[in-house]
Amino acid sequence: MAHDSDLPCDGDGRCMICKINPPEEEKITCKTCVTPWHLDCLSARPQTLADAAQWECPDCSSLVSSHAPPSAVASGSEPSDSLIAAIRAIESDASLSDLEKAKRRQKLLSGGSDDGDEPAEEKKEVAGGSSSGSGGGNDVLKLLSGSFNCSFCMQLPERPVTTPCGHNFCLKCFEKWVGQGKRTCAICRTSIPSKMASNPRINSSLVIAIRMAKMTKSNAASGPPKPYYSVLNQNKPDKAYTTERAKKTGKANACSGKIFVTVPPDHFGPILAENDPERGMGVLVGETWEDRLECRQWGAHLPHVAGICGQSDYGAQSVALSGGYEDDEDHGEWFLYTGSGGRDLSGNKRTNKTQSFDQKFDKSNEALRVSCKKGYPVRVVRSHKEKRSAYAPETGVRYDGVYRIEKCWRKPGIQGFKVCRYLFVRCDNDPAPWTSDEIGDRPRPLPNIKELKEATDVTERKSPPSWDYDEEKGCWLWKIPPPDSRKRASTVDAGDGTQTKTVRRKTHIMSVSERLLKEFCCLICHKVMTQPLTTPCAHNFCKSCLQDAFAGQTFIKERNCEGRRTLRAQKNVMKCPSCPNDISEYLQNPQVNRELMSVIESLQRQTKEMEENAVTEEEMLDADVAEEDKVEVQAVNSEANEDIKESDEEEKADAKPSLEANEETKAEANEDVKESEAVAKPSPKVSKKRKAKGVTDNAPNKKVHQETDNMIGADINKDETVNPGPMEAEDMKVGEVGKDAGAKTRSRKG
């Protein structure tokens, strides 16, 4: 269907005729499909400026008349109908493969976002550089870059969202589209539910998929794939115990549990591998727990109700974003946080939505101010209860890395009473869970905060921050040592002098494709999805599982009371199996996410191939593992490993001194043992390779292309024309990012 002599610019902005990347002023954009074309290479150029503004590309102008099926042409006269016609033409072209079709579609739709979009350099590189090679992750990447792109910007979706009709877009592109008043899918024109339009949720499975694909690519260039450590919930031992009384009234009422990490409660910054005797990997960005209590057990955020962990004379170590304060404003890499208090909690309330007095900089609010002045890193967890933020997890509580508080002030809150406000900006060495970036944050200019105009009591940091970016090392670290801990670490230590028994659990290392597949599990059957569906609340299921879950249910409840008059039919509420959202509307016409499906299928093929190849290595690797085990057991000076049962029981008993409690916990410990044994059994399907070595030796020492624009930069540019400035580094070497570097600079033990 392509025009004989004319060709547009490709996804990289390069003219497909002369192969150069023309500057913006030499490009012209089609008013219909918004595809960029190289002016110099066009056979018929627009003559006037007005012409240029109304210019329609050769593809679009010729399509309606000559190529589109008649049904499509007949359907209307508004301009974008020719776009639909074009898409239909592509779809009906039997000479094209599915991949080709997808590419053509994207080409057509490429520029849907009007004003100068920010084509990320790095993305471009990834999207374009997958042509060679057929083995390993390249297939996945090819798939991802070929058919997975956001139809607006033609890049791999950044912060991907999925429409009920099964199409994937960048969050920002989607928001822009919706912001223009559009309420239909840009690909298929299915209407977008208003809830999705006003509150799109990031499809975290896709985030992982894209990031992994990028990793796969960088690995393809530099040696064997790096192992990826799974953070499976089942691998997490020792659920918080529940007392009999609490069981009656619900878990919320009485829970505690072992703290698994060995950091003191007033520890600042990331929780490193050295403080994680359970798994030896520390608390990783993106790790998600079932609830606040489980989050507490891993030390990310200790208070199980309060939003702020901190001491007014010392500083704040962590905060939770849980949607409890309506003034909060979440932009992912930065957010505005509201202090606590100002509420009437009489009557034994935990919380109260209405403010009844001003907040002050005291207690935990003051603690946050101290962290602001000192420039301490503050751990941030986001809870699924934060419903307004696209960055909140769909379920549970997630660790999102460390942020710095750059400013704080007071202002009248939405309810009229003064609230304390804090500007948090991310400064973590690991990328945030919602980006497909491979590297963490870089120093970035502060966003323009409008409300500062009406702010009082503004506090800014005067002295250099304790936690800052080291240009030389290329990572964030303690420039000024953190304050000495004033508390004892909550060790797993028995306290009576006996050596802590470290229960070492086998950390399962998965191949890239395995890991990816894991991300594509149906939330109902927990197997890799077949015919994946994504609900508007961003949960993924097999089509059959979701349909089975509502089998026999009708969308409408007939309310016939015998004999009496018939009541009006009532809509049946159908709750998403993973969250309380009503998805009945979605269920009337759920569409398979075909892009996701093809990625899954490709991964399955690959995993199968890899398994076949791995069989021969298996024995050798097993021997390796045994050897390492020996060494480590000596080092820890404990029996470790085999007697999980014994140590579990002892620890449990020690944690709870009272007699009857002992009975109770013992019984539970046994249950736990069953569970952990089941987990410890290595899955027969997966070869346990390279174990712990991976953690230490495989420190991220990769060359990465620095993405020049990040969302903050973009936001700022839009809002107040500040240059993103200092983040231009290209080909920056990021050796010793994250954990390792942190460990070096902060060698004190907790």
Pick the closer one to DNA by CB: 280 or 310: 310
| Strand-pair partners of 467 | 478
Binding residue for DNA, selected from 156, 272, 293, 640, defined by CB under 7 A: 293
Q: What is the spatial distance between Cα 211 and Cα 208, in angstroms, rounded to a whole number?
A: 5
Residue with tokens 């509150």: 199
Binding residue for DNA, selected from 30, 320, 378, 475, defined by CB under 7 A: 320
Binding mask 560-589 for DNA (x = CB under 7 A): ------------------------------
Q: Is the CA virtual torsion 719, 725, 727, 730 positive or negative?
A: positive
**Would you state the torsion angle of the CA atoms of residues 646, 648, 650, 655, taken in this order, to the nearest 10 degrees?**
180
Pick the closer one to DNA by CB: 266 or 400: 266
Binding residue for DNA, selected from 307, 401, 433, 482, defined by CB under 7 A: 307
Strand, coil or helix: 663: helix
Determine the residue type at 58. P
Q: How far is the CB of 470 from DNA (least distance, A)?
A: 30
CA distances from 224 to 376, 467, 510 (A): 37, 34, 13
Q: Which of residues 656-695 bind DNA (CB under 7 A)?
A: none
For DNA, which stretch binds (CB under 7 A), given 315-323, 474-482, 623-631, 726-734? Answer: 315-323
Residue with tokens 């898409």: 87
Pick the closer one to DNA by CB: 495 or 563: 495
Cα 282 off chain centre by: 18
Pick the closer one to DNA by CB: 224 or 250: 250
| Strand-pair partners of 288 | 398
Binding residue for DNA, selected from 11, 269, 324, 440, defined by CB under 7 A: 324
Q: How far is the CB of 281 from DNA (least distance, A)?
A: 23
Assess 217 for contact with DNA (CB under 7 A): no
Q: Which of residues 237-266 bind DNA (CB under 7 A)?
A: 243, 245-246, 249-256, 265-266
Q: How far is the CB of 722 from DNA (least distance, A)?
A: 26
CB atoms within 10 A of CB 638: 16
Give the total residue count for the chain. Answer: 750
Pick the closer one to DNA by CB: 302 or 695: 302
Pick the closer one to DNA by CB: 76 or 250: 250
CA distances from 49 to 44, 339, 564 (A): 14, 53, 72
Q: How far is the CB of 519 from DNA (least distance, A)?
A: 24
Q: How far is the CB of 478 from DNA (least distance, A)?
A: 21
Pick the closer one to DNA by CB: 74 or 667: 667
Q: How far is the CB of 317 from DNA (least distance, A)?
A: 8
Pick the closer one to DNA by CB: 170 or 419: 419
Residue with tokens 């230490």: 696
Q: Which of residues 371-410 bind DNA (CB under 7 A)?
A: 383, 385-386
Q: How far is the CB of 421 from DNA (least distance, A)?
A: 10
Q: How far is the CB of 457 from DNA (least distance, A)?
A: 17
Q: What is the spatial distance between Cα 617 and Cα 623, in angstroms, rounded to a whole number?
A: 10
| Strand-pair partners of 528 | 521
DSSP designation for 521? B
Pick the closer one to DNA by CB: 254 or 625: 254
CB 158 within 8 A of CB 435: yes
Determine the residue type at 676. S
Q: What is the spatial distance between Cα 593 and Cα 170, in angstroms, rounded to a whole number?
A: 15
Q: How far is the CB of 417 from DNA (least distance, A)?
A: 13
Determine the residue type at 742. G
Q: What is the spatial distance between Cα 638 and Cα 504, in angstroms, rounded to a whole number?
A: 10
Q: What is the spatial distance between Cα 704 and Cα 706, in angstroms, rounded to a whole number?
A: 6
Pick the closer one to DNA by CB: 265 or 412: 265
The count of residues interacting with DNA (CB under 7 A) is 53
Continuous segment of H or E residues that includes residue 478: strand 475-478
Q: Which of residues 327-366 bind DNA (CB under 7 A)?
A: 328, 337-338, 340-341, 343, 345, 347-351, 363-364, 366
CA distances from 40 to 10, 22, 28, 29, 36 (A): 15, 9, 10, 13, 12
For DNA, which stretch binds (CB under 7 A), given 115-123, 142-150, 311-319, 466-474? Answer: 311-319
Q: How far is the CB of 320 from DNA (least distance, A)?
A: 6
Q: How far is the CB of 316 from DNA (least distance, A)?
A: 9
Q: What is the spatial distance between Cα 385 and Cα 299, in angstroms, rounded to a whole number?
A: 20
Binding residue for DNA, selected from 91, 100, 121, 291, defined by CB under 7 A: 291
Q: How far is the CB of 69 from DNA (least distance, A)?
A: 48
Q: How far is the CB of 665 from DNA (least distance, A)?
A: 12
Q: How far is the CB of 174 from DNA (least distance, A)?
A: 25
**Would you state the torsion angle of the CA atoms of residues 633, 225, 514, 440, taken in this order, to the nearest 10 degrees?**
90
Pick the closer one to DNA by CB: 162 or 383: 383
Binding residue for DNA, selected from 306, 405, 427, 517, defined by CB under 7 A: 306
Token pair of 381, please?
A: 């967890």
For DNA, which stretch binds (CB under 7 A), given 123-131, 286-294, 401-409, 552-560? Answer: 286-294
Contacts (Cβ under 8 Å, ≥6 apart) of 334: 403, 423, 424, 425, 426, 447, 712
For DNA, which stretch binds (CB under 7 A), given 32-40, 51-59, 78-86, 323-331? Answer: 323-331
Strand, coil or helix: 248: helix
Pick the closer one to DNA by CB: 385 or 518: 385
Binding residue for DNA, selected from 64, 83, 186, 321, defined by CB under 7 A: 321
| Strand-pair partners of 383 | 397
Pick the closer one to DNA by CB: 256 or 500: 256
CB 738 within 8 A of CB 475: yes
Report the interhelical angle of 204-221 vs 512-519 (nearest 10°). Answer: 170
Q: What is the spatial distance between Cα 501 and Cα 237, in angstroms, rounded to a whole number?
A: 14
Determine the residue type at 365. N
Pick the closer one to DNA by CB: 96 or 254: 254
Q: Which of residues 625-644 bind DNA (CB under 7 A)?
A: none
CB 473 within 8 A of CB 736: yes
Pick the closer one to DNA by CB: 575 or 605: 575
Contacts with DNA by CB under 7 A lie at 243, 245-246, 249-256, 265-266, 291-293, 302-313, 320-325, 328, 337-338, 340-341, 343, 345, 347-351, 363-364, 366-367, 383, 385-386
